[in-house]
């Protein structure tokens, strides 16, 4: 007895079921599995034996059975139906209502063994491509005649479901592209629940910077900022329901980066409102603005500095030129008075040039510390003597205190320590009109490190709180009137700070306007290892007694004034001086004359001192001659030049302007008494 056809309501239910399956599946294979089961259940009364969906490959086929069968029977059914679909694709098999109509004998035998009486198939297309067959197999019985009608009645529902699947896939692709778009952002983008603060979506930028470890930590305030409780940006009620953006700026406590965050309410998958946040990293922009501001300030400071340095240079030059003119005109006047003042102006000019050279070394990172043993009291006495005259002129008191636990003998760069202390003392005397200037030295132990703490105090005008923040910056002075009233270029403290940093220490200042200032210097305390007392340097003004008799020196110098100065000094020391005006003359004289020492200027026309030294040594080696020690004369203190001088074969170096006492000691050091 033929069963009644399914009602239209049943068809609608099947269409609805297939659509739900299509919209909930992520890929085509999942859809086939669900669709096959839905179709099989709907048509089980017509297809009592089973339904097979075979997309053309046995390993991708899906089998549905109306009733349970033994595993070997199931395997036989799958094999037979797969063979039927394969033959149908090649045009070697057709649907049939009775097994006798099957043209392929081997296939017919397989189907008969499975009890299949009728077999019909429906080609399925998706995106204009044949993707498989829906096959309905029936046992012998009256319902077999209804199978073709039932099967082809599924064509429209399946086509509609496939359209839904295509729509779903399209939406998924759009969704994937949207995620890709967010992932391409270099800025953090995330979606969070307005109430639980759970992160529902995070782009790659966030996943890379804040990888999710424990799922319990997937809360925006915990994962992105490291807070244990929601921050006020999460709890405030400023997001409008109409999607109006809200902008806020904060510094992330985990990354220490500054972000401008744009928040707005958007609809999520379940139509609930969530928070969409896009964070823009503005750290570099803010830093660039700050650097620009500092650059503008530095440019202004440099402009003021250039104006001031022009004044500072011209003032001593004016004194030198003017006093020299007076000395030449006033023949009755004792010239020593003019010469003393000229020397003072020249010394001031030299101090300024040295500051500029030190600053250039610091900015080029070429300043190198020297290490030697020294007595701390000698350094303090040197600094005190240098400012003693100015203190006496102002009537200032002097106090110096050294704690008992401070080592008497130290190891380090005593010249740079002198430079810092002298600068601090000079400033203290400069800005103090009455009262006192003092120095104290203490030994401190901190973090398993010994430190020397110097405190230079004065009772002067003090420094404002605003300027204290910039006092160690180059070219800085509290106001322009400072330089006009007290002089100076604003370089000294900047140089002191860099030297302190180079020593591994620090420098800072405490000051109260109207009550004075205290500058603090802290450097590592390294005790000296020597047994004997270190040699005390000869005073600059001390003139030597004289060189051994008969010392011959070759002076290589192109400047006539420098020739006159050097020859006069050497003559007063008792040496005989021969002059070479350039490097080429120096080579001939050095190889054809007899000298105890060669003083070689580094910068000369025709051939410089480095090339001349190398050539003298090369030719002397070829001739197997003995060459006297060669001492370079230069105003360049930089390390690269000193390395070149050493590589050329120079025994030592003297820096211009030449200190007569140091020149004398260098000559004594290098000449051989036996040759004198």
Is the model more confident about 471 or about 176?
471
Rg (CA), the chain: 49
What is the pLDDT, as a whole number, of residue 542?
Answer: 46
List, in sequence order, every beta strand (DSSP E) within 317-421.
Answer: 372-375, 397-402, 409-412
For 56-154, where are the alpha helices, taking DSSP H only? 71-89, 105-114, 147-152
| DSSP letter (8 states) at residue 435 | S
Sheet containing 246-251: order of strands: 199-202, 189-193, 273-281, 258-267, 246-251
What is the pLDDT, as a whole number, of residue 226?
Answer: 78
pLDDT-above-90 percentage for the chain: 18
Separation CA 281–CA 304 (nearest Å): 36
Check pLDDT > 50 for residue 580: yes
pLDDT-above-70 percentage for the chain: 72
Mean pLDDT, to the nearest integer, of 463-467?
82
Check pLDDT > 90 for residue 483: no
CATH no. for 186-281:
3.30.450.20
List, in sequence order, every beta strand (DSSP E) within 127-225.
Answer: 129-138, 189-193, 199-202
Protein fold of 372-524:
Heat Shock Protein 90 (3.30.565)
What is the pLDDT, as a whole number, of residue 611?
Answer: 93
What is the pLDDT, as a whole number, of residue 359?
Answer: 63
Check pLDDT > 50 for residue 5: no
Q: pLDDT tens for residues 28-72?
A: 667 777 777 777 777 766 665 666 665 555 566 777 777 777 888
In this predicted structure, which of 99-103, 280-284, 418-422, 466-470 has the lowest mean pLDDT?
A: 466-470
What is the pLDDT, as a whole number, of residue 530?
Answer: 61
Number of helices (H), then strands (E), in the chain = 21, 21
Class of domain 552-670: alpha beta
Q: Which two tokens stand for residue 116?
A: 């299949």
For residues 502 and 369, the answer to whether their CB atoms sit within 8 Å is yes
CATH no. for 8-170:
3.30.450.40
Q: Do 290-351 and 372-524 share a fold? A: no
List, in sequence order, every beta strand (DSSP E) within 581-619.
Answer: 597-601
Instruction: Break the chain into its structural domains and give their ranges.
Output: 8-170, 186-281, 290-351, 372-524, 552-670
In this predicted structure, which of 112-126, 285-299, 339-353, 363-377 has the lowest mean pLDDT?
A: 339-353
In this predicted structure, which of 121-135, 145-159, 478-492 has the lowest mean pLDDT?
A: 478-492
What is the pLDDT, as a whole number, of residue 57?
Answer: 58
What is the pLDDT, as a whole number, of residue 72?
Answer: 85
Mean pLDDT, to the nearest integer, of 425-441?
91
Check pLDDT > 60 for residue 172: yes
What is the pLDDT, as a whole number, of residue 543?
Answer: 46
Averaged pLDDT of the chain: 78
Mean pLDDT, to the nearest integer, of 582-611?
91
What is the pLDDT, as a whole number, of residue 50?
Answer: 62
pTM of the model: 0.42
Burial per residue of 187-203, b for 16 or more beta-carbon CB atoms within 10 angstroms, e otherwise: bbbbbbbeeebebbebb
- For 154, the 3-state DSSP assignment is coil
Check pLDDT > 70 for residue 125: yes
What is the pLDDT, as a whole number, of residue 553?
Answer: 94
What is the pLDDT, as a whole number, of residue 131?
Answer: 74
Check pLDDT > 70 for residue 591: yes
What is the pLDDT, as a whole number, of residue 54?
Answer: 57
Sign of CA dihedral 345, 346, 350, 352: positive
What is the pLDDT, as a whole number, of residue 674?
Answer: 42
Check pLDDT > 70 for residue 10: no
Is the model more confident about 249 or about 619?
619
Measured CA to CA in angstroms, residue 106 lies from 37, 75, 96, 109 at distances of 29, 17, 15, 5
Check pLDDT > 60 for residue 447: yes
What is the pLDDT, as a whole number, of residue 153?
Answer: 67
Architecture of domain 290-351: Orthogonal Bundle (1.10)
- Residue/partner pairs of 179-186 with CB below 8 Å, 24 or more apart: 179/203, 185/278, 186/281
Check pLDDT > 90 for residue 203: no
Check pLDDT > 50 for residue 485: no
**Local confidence band at 510 (pLDDT 50, 70, 90 cut-offs):** very high
Mean pLDDT, to the nearest integer, of 618-639?
87
Mean pLDDT, to the nearest integer, of 107-135?
81
Q: pLDDT tens for residues 226-244?
A: 788 887 766 667 777 777 8
| DSSP letter (8 states) at residue 581 | S
Mean pLDDT, to the nearest integer, of 452-478?
82
For residues 261 and 251, the answer to whether their CB atoms sit within 8 Å is no
| DSSP letter (8 states) at residue 524 | E
What is the pLDDT, as a whole number, of residue 410?
Answer: 92
Check pLDDT > 80 for residue 314: no
| Cross-strand partners of 455 | 440, 520
Check pLDDT > 80 for residue 289: yes
Is the model more confident about 544 or about 598?
598
């Amino acid at each position: 007895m033929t069963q009644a056809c399914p009602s239209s309501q049943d068809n609608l239910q099947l269409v609805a079921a297939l659509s739900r399956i299509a919209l909930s599946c992520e890929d085509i294979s999942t859809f086939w599995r669900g669709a096959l089961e839905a179709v099989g259940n709907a048509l089980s009364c017509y297809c009592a034996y089973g339904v097979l969906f075979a997309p053309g490959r046995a390993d991708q086929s899906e089998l549905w059975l109306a009733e349970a069968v033994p595993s070997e029977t199931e395997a036989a059914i799958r094999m037979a139906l797969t063979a039927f679909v394969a033959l149908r694709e090649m045009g070697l098999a057709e649907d049939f209502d009775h097994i006798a109509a099957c043209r392929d004998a081997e296939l017919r035998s397989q189907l008969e063994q499975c009890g299949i009486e009728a077999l019909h198939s429906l080609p399925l297309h998706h995106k204009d491509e044949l993707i498989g067959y829906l096959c309905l197999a029936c046992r012998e019985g009256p319902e077999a005649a209804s199978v073709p009608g039932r099967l082809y009645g599924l064509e429209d529902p399946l086509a509609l479901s496939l359209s839904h699947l295509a729509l779903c896939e399209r939406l998924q692709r759009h969704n994937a592209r949207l995620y890709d778009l967010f992932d391409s952002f270099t800025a953090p983008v995330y979606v969070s629940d307005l109430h639980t603060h759970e992160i529902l979506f995070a782009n790659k930028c966030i996943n890379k910077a804040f990888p999710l470890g424990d799922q319990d930590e997937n809360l925006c305030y915990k994962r992105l900022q490291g807070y244990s409780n929601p921050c006020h940006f999460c709890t405030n009620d400023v997001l409008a329901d109409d999607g109006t953006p809200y902008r806020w700026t904060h510094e992330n406590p985990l990354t220490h980066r500054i972000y401008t965050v744009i928040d707005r309410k958007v609809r999520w998958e379940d139509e609930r409102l969530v928070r969409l946040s896009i964070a823009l990293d503005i750290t570099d922009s803010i830093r660039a603005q700050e650097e620009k501001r500092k650059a503008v300030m530095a440019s202004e400071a440099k402009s003021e500095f250039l104006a001031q340095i022009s004044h500072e240079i011209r003032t001593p030059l004016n004194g030198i030129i003017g006093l020299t003119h007076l000395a030449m005109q006033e023949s009755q006047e004792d010239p020593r008075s003019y010469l003393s003042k000229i020397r003072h102006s020249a010394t001031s000019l030299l101090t300024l040039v040295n500051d500029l050279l030190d600053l250039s070394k610091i900015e080029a990172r070429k300043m190198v510390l020297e290490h030697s043993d020294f007595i701390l009291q000698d350094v303090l006495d040197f600094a005190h003597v240098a400012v003693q005259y100015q203190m006496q002129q102002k009537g200032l008191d002097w106090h110096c205190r050294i704690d008992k636990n401070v080592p008497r003998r130290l190891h380090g760069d005593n010249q740079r320590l002198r430079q810092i202390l002298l600068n601090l003392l000079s400033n203290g005397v400069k800005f103090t009109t009455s009262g006192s200037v003092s120095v104290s030295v203490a030994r401190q132990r901190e973090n398993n490190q010994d430190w020397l703490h110097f405190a230079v105090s004065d009772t002067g005008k003090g420094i404002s709180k605003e300027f204290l923040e910039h006092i160690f910056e180059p070219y800085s002075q509290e106001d322009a009137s400072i330089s006009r009233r007290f002089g100076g270029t604003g370089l000294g403290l900047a140089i002191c700070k860099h030297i302190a940093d180079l020593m591994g220490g620090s420098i800072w200042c405490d000051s109260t306007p109207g009550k004075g200032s205290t500058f603090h210097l802290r450097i590592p305390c390294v005790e000296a290892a020597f047994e004997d007392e270190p040699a005390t340097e000869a005073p600059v003004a001390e003139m030597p007694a004289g060189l051994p008799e008969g010392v011959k020196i070759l002076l290589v110098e192109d400047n006539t004034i420098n020739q006159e100065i050097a020859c006069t000094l050497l003559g007063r020391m008792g040496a005989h001086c021969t002059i070479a005006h350039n490097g080429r003359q120096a080579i001939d004289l050095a190889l054809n004359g007899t000298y105890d020492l060669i003083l070689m200027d580094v910068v000369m026309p025709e051939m410089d001192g480095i090339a001349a030294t190398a050539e003298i040594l090369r030719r002397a080696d070829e001739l197997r001659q003995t060459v006297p020690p060669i001492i370079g004369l230069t105003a360049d203190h930089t390390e690269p030049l000193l390395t070149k001088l050493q590589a050329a074969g120079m025994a030592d170096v003297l820096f211009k302007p030449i200190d007569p006492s140091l020149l004398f000691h260098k000559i004594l050091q290098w000449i051989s008494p036996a040759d004198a």
